[in-house]
Amino acid sequence: MQVTQVSAFLENRPGRLLYLLNVLADAQVNIIAHNIVDASDFGIVHLLVSDPEQALAAMRAAGLTCSSSEVLIVAVPDEPGAFVHKILMPLAQSGVNIEYSYAYATPETHEARIVLKLSDLTQGKKILAQLER
């Protein structure tokens, strides 16, 4: 499934993540998943949220530097090797690079959801859709 991910660029200092999350809470935006990429002076927070447009508007109004991008969410069985065999190998064999990924599990369904930022979203969707059949 293709979704819009929002990203915020934050100074790497205490309280900045709290500020971002309070901005989203005040805007009534629910966080579904997040990932933080650390650099020396700043961090990038990637977020899947209930309303990406509302999140971006709230972050911009709060003076935060933010952007959006399209990512894929794929479900795989929550078992050893599933990510490798069902996602990584087919994409690598097709020449589609994974720029970054993060995951979250849904134990009650025995599945993991993996968020993928791909070098070629269209080709990646095509490859992974063929595998679902």
SS (H, E, C) 32-93: EEEEEEECCCEEEEEEEECCHHHHHHHHHHCCCEEEEEEEEEEEEECCCCHHHHHHHHHHHH
CATH 3.30.2130.10, the chain: domain bounds: 2-69
Instruction: Assign a CATH topology to domain 71-132.
Output: Alpha-Beta Plaits (3.30.70)
Residue 133 reports pLDDT greater than 70: no
Q: What is the pLDDT of residues 1-53, one digit of tens each?
A: 899 999 999 998 899 999 999 999 999 999 999 999 987 789 999 999 999 99
Residue extent(s) of CATH 3.30.70.260 domains in the chain: 71-132
Are the beta carbons of 33 and 44 closer than 8 angstroms? no
Please tell me the distance from the alpha carbon of residue 10 to that of residue 102, in angstroms, as a whole number.
19
Average pLDDT, whole number, for the chain?
92
Its CATH class, for the domain covering 2-69, is alpha beta
- Residue found under tokens 């992974």: 128
